[in-house]
Amino acid sequence: MALADLERVERNAAGIEVALGILKQRFGARMQTGQSVREQHAHTTTYIPTQAPDAVIFPESTAEVAEIVRVCAEHKVPVIPFGVGTSLEGHVNAPGGGISLDMANMNRVIRVDAEDLDCVVQPGITREALNEHLRDTGLFFPIDPGANATIGGMASTRASGTNAVRYGTMRDNVMALTVVMADGKVVTTAKRAKKSSAGYDLTRLFIGAEGTLGVITELTLKLHGIPQAISGGVCPFPSVEAACEAVIATIQMGIPVARIELVNQLMMRAMIAYSKLDYPESPGLFLEFHGSDSGVKEQAELFGEIATEYGGGPFLWTTNSEERAKLWKARHDAYWASMILRPGAQGISTDVCVPISRLAECIAATEIDIAENGLIAPIVGHVGDGNFHVALLLDAKDPKEVEAAEAFIARLNMRAIAMDGTCTGEHGVGQGKMAFLERELGGAVDVMRTIKKALDPQNIMNPGKIMPSRRH
């Protein structure tokens, strides 16, 4: 995440002016050009500067999105899809201006096929709203990135979250997409069959594309049955290394853990203070098991035995829904909890992912890096799949602190890549990690450029994201 790496996108002022006139006449009050609205649709949780669009439009159907994109294509105007803005790497910024497509009005559940365990939704529905709709069917959508993100945004960044170790990521749970392409044409990437060998897997091409290849307007999702019973709890450990070793043993033994989250000592201190938790101030694992009444009891007890082998425990678990809700609310509030460690600071959340066998090594090296450089940066992670996050607290107005933050994040990214991992486990690339993508994948990025040029020859779909237009 280096400001110097931001991709410059040339502004087509004349084309934007013409397109705004056409679209204003068509959409009236559903097109907003006020400064505050525009800035809200370009906010970033990093020190990447706000780059506002020229207008925000609130479409209500695939047909309207296609209409907007056709106008923008004709006049070479950028199009930036927007969910609820939970992105962390500058995904919704508009470096060349253009139109922000706010999907808030495209928030319907179109169809639920309970017998087939799937549903079709519009991209603007949030994860929580979808599960509220599904509750009476006995089904749920399991991907939980923590924030109440939109389903379209989650697909666009290939999100995962706390349940990934059991249920997979968005890549595993999206069956088909309806996408408006850069010329305004509408395509459907697949049917509802559970598997297919019919041609290229276009569904996965658009999952994680961050709106750079097209605009997602409908998603067909896999659903899962709500578990009969759920158990969960917190287990303290003497060190991060011991906790990671327990995670590895748990995964290798095939225990069907649903969630397994790590917090280091500093993050636990913050969570105890913020969420009023009665836990030891030490590294710990937050766990949850799904299954039958007897199954979740057996799984919890078995994990407790593993924890003891690595010096952890006691593992205090419960099936009480209120106690579990408090536990996971504290985990989801970890970002806000970290703020109390340095009042007035800005929190920069970054993530990496490594093979689980290298997880303890990577986290330990990162903690040493934090200490040696005098940084305040608690760690939390979806460690069941080798993913962890660092919340770096800094004064974003101090150039020296920004420089130190950039250097730390660069070291973290390169550390993960050197361990055969990735610079971004679930946050996406956006503007912030473009330079590291090339270091991670090398020539494969040239293949991505070829795909981008073929599908979006005018570079109007969320330009300035994922990869530079050419090698530096």
Burial class (CB in 10 A: 0-12, 13-18, 19+), 336: middle
Which residues in the chain land under pLDDT 70? 1-4, 44, 470-472
CA 419 to chain centre: 22
C-alpha span between 303 and 296 (Å, rounded): 11
DSSP 141-167: -----SS--BHHHHHHTT---TTHHHH
**Model confidence over 189-205: pLDDT tens digits?**
999 998 889 999 999 99
- Domain chopping of the chain, boundaries: 3-104+449-455, 107-225, 229-320, 342-441
The CATH number, out of the four listed (3.30.43.10, 3.90.1580.10, 3.40.640.10, 3.40.50.1980), of the domain defined by the range 3-104+449-455: 3.30.43.10
Question: Which pLDDT does position 318 carry in this prediction?
Answer: 87
Considering the segment(s) 229-320 as one domain, its CATH architecture is: 2-Layer Sandwich (3.30)
CATH code of 107-225, in short, is 3.30.465.10
Strands 186-188 and 224-225 come out as unpaired
Q: Do domains 3-104+449-455 and 342-441 have the same CATH topology?
A: no
CA 309 to chain centre: 34
138 Cβ partners below 8 Å, 6+ apart? Answer: 114, 225, 226
Closest CA to 263 of 291, 235, 288: 235
**Model confidence over 207-245: pLDDT tens digits?**
999 999 999 999 999 999 999 999 989 999 999 999 999
20 Cβ partners below 8 Å, 6+ apart? Answer: 33, 54, 55
The CATH number, out of the four listed (3.30.200.20, 3.30.70.2740, 2.40.30.10, 3.60.15.10), of the domain defined by the range 342-441: 3.30.70.2740
Question: Which pLDDT does position 471 carry in this prediction?
Answer: 54
Q: In degrees to the nearest 10, what's the CA dihedral of 156, 450, 15, 54?
A: 30
Residue 302 parent element (H or E): helix 293-309
Q: At 233, which amino acid appears?
A: G
Rg of the chain's alpha carbons, rounded to an integer?
22
Cis peptide leading into residue 314 (ω within 30°): yes
C-alpha span between 66 and 126 (Å, rounded): 22
**Model confidence over 57-75: pLDDT tens digits?**
999 999 999 999 999 999 9
Question: Considering the entire predicted model, what is its pTM?
Answer: 0.93
